Structure 1
């Protein structure tokens, strides 16, 4: 586009056929919806009242807006595209590609002893390496890699979703990620704060700095990766350097990949304790129990679960590891028959009478009452 902006359609709730609720999260609900052109999308909705009532409301808005912005810049078959944004007096939301195969943990639970075979692990691990390497090339550290955030597309290939915990890091050797500003057709009064944040071009962490500080960070010629000091993620997957609070970089994603591969192989995560404190203690002090005969997969997991991020292997070393010997990395995305192809599903007879706003309100109220 000559304007340099990404045109993102504005969605009207009354023009969408709401088929079902796909999942419920801490901030809202994801729905399966069908457009007037019969296209299926996953609509992520967030209750505005729950954001405004949060102690960190501004940070919540910035995270949502940062996720929207990164979605506009992706051009990769393993990452979603922003297909539209939505705003009413009660909810805000946005739509991405729908993945009928559910998430990777759902697939694992259907397998014998709830574990994936080495060949399945190899294929999915390779696709995750490609997706993460692409993100890192944009200067984005994902920070929330776990099976529930890895969806299976209609063609059997993976799709990494949920970027609200991601952030931007800068490195001299990497392309600086500058998200395109979505050009929205219209806004409403309840959407103004959301819209302003979405067009700020600033990540949640960056927003705490003054304009001059941000310019100094962006313009600096640093050899080392700029690190983040925030603490985010899912506790069983959090890297040791994040717990220690010494700053973290792209290496946290490779740690999370190691935890995921361990889980796919053994059906449990490697450091889970009886509570959060014990889990963090194990992450910091215990080695993963790689039971069974030595294999290339177990060796790879051990190298990914290296507690010192400076010694942890990265993308190129992972691609060259013996577990992937014989794999043509240029052809992975062209595989016509991945290990699992989701069965075709008819959606015409399902419930399409869902009142989205009421459903989200009631869901979020139940979550508040159960705290």
Structure 2
């Protein structure tokens, strides 16, 4: 992703031929000015009210002017509809479950539905500063398109004065990484089930022309029956078959060598990440130690032999090595290859059948709900008071 420009306002004004994005002023910090944003917000609300059907007729010139929304609002449309503070959703913050690279992920209670959700909060200023606007829109667009039992469901998405909001179903059993760190050993039957569920969902995404690009244990949530839910589509993108990507993105320890070197790469990169994940589940450690940058990580990956410990069965070891193949075209990536693999003998890939029974290991490990972080200090900076108290009782 591109870095933010270092040009100042004086530099820009003195260069008449320099093209400036319409949101350049927001990027340079004006979005942090509450007084300016309040004025724009009031303007936007006034415009919105004026756009309501009316029996009065106005000159054509006025109609054109009225339809112009402030840039801090229109930039994020249509993926993030405008919800004014007077039409706020009835949400109550219960805690902070994670701190993402752009903003927190909150546990919230939705009063009308009497249901708990996960709410990702993205500051608009940070989105523009990091030049990730297209990425945020792509995330919402993809999650609205997909519907699969092993994908975390998307709820509403909207924007306020200073933030973008993405609401998803809440998984109370934490993530796969927490389970992996807590469990002394994960048996191969459980690994087989998890692998089949991930194969099912990745095949589904790839058939839609979607590459996830951040398959890792932290992005795999566990539902109340212990089954997997792939989450966080922030790095995902539509990638039609035959096309390639070149952006170096993801998590270093999970990234395929073709991603680390800057491409070209395609959907096969997700299968390499799955191989890293299965290696860690089976061996209790990652196949390659993490490096501080992608160049050093590429050297380690290229030098790695991916020797699986003797404690792992030959069939699982064989599967892992075929996924960790350094040549993308020789890597396992088709459903029929997994169906015929010895590790999946007599195993179904039908999501309904895979979900039929609860995962005993997860239920045994789950004694109480995953602790919620309470040190999040950003409640006062929201576009409305999400900490208000509701008349309806809030589930624990």
TM-score bracket, shorter-length normalisation: 0.7 to 0.9
2:265 aligned with 1:248: yes
Q: In structure 2, what is the equivalent of residue 121 of structure 1?
A: 191
Q: In structure 1, what is the equivalent of residue 252 of structure 2?
A: 235
Q: In structure 2, what is the equivalent of residue 324 of structure 1?
A: 344
2:324 aligned with 1:305: yes
Higher alpha-carbon Rg: 2
Equivalent residue runs for 1:276-295 within 5 Å: 276=293, 277-292=295-310, 295=314
- Listed one character per residue, the Cα deviations across residues 17-50 of structure 1 (whole Å, up to 9, x for unaligned) are 1101010011000000011121111000011222
Shift of 1:344: 6.8
Determine which of 136, 140, 157 is the counterpart of 2:206.
136
CA RMSD of aligned residues (A): 3.0
Cα distance, 1:274–1:63 mapped onto 2, change above 3 Å: closer
Structure 2 unmatched runs, 5+:
1-77, 384-396
Q: In structure 1, what is the equivalent of residue 234 of structure 2?
A: 164
Once residues 166 and 283 of structure 2 are traced to their aligned partners in structure 1, the CA distance between those partners, rounded to angstroms, is: 36
Are 1:9 and 1:83, in contact at CA under 8 Å, matched by a contact in 2? no
Structure 1 unmatched runs, 5+:
172-224, 361-371
TM-score (norm 2): 0.68
Once residues 378 and 219 of structure 2 are traced to their aligned partners in structure 1, the CA distance between those partners, rounded to angstroms, is: 26
Cα distance, 1:123–1:51 mapped onto 2, change above 3 Å: same
Provide the secondary structure at the position in 2 that maps to 1:65.
helix
- Listed one character per residue, the Cα deviations across residues 41-82 of structure 1 (whole Å, up to 9, x for unaligned) are 10000112222333xx2xx01111110111111221111222
Q: Which moved more, 1:275-284 or 1:136-145?
A: 275-284
| Structure with more contact order per residue of length (Cα contacts < 8 Å, sep ≥ 6) | 1
2:92 aligned with 1:33: no
TM-score (norm 1): 0.73
Once residues 189 and 150 of structure 2 are traced to their aligned partners in structure 1, the CA distance between those partners, rounded to angstroms, is: 19
Once residues 8 and 153 of structure 1 are traced to their aligned partners in structure 2, the CA distance between those partners, rounded to angstroms, is: 29
- Listed one character per residue, the Cα deviations across residues 299-321 of structure 1 (whole Å, up to 9, x for unaligned) are 10001000000111113212321
- Listed one character per residue, the Cα deviations across residues 71-123 of structure 1 (whole Å, up to 9, x for unaligned) are 111221111222112322221111011001111010111211xx421111111
Shift of 1:255: 0.3
Provide the secondary structure at the position in 1 that maps to 2:243.
coil
Determine which of 120, 126, 141 is the counterpart of 1:50.
126
Are 2:98 and 2:373, in contact at CA under 8 Å, matched by a contact in 1? no
Are 2:142 and 2:237, in contact at CA under 8 Å, matched by a contact in 1? no
Q: In structure 1, what is the equivalent of residue 355 of structure 2?
A: 334
Q: In structure 1, what is the equivalent of residue 163 of structure 2?
A: 91
Q: In structure 1, what is the equivalent of residue 381 of structure 2?
A: 358
- Listed one character per residue, the Cα deviations across residues 139-196 of structure 1 (whole Å, up to 9, x for unaligned) are 001110000000001222111011111111112xxxxxxxxxxxxxxxxxxxxxxxxx
Shift of 1:346: 11
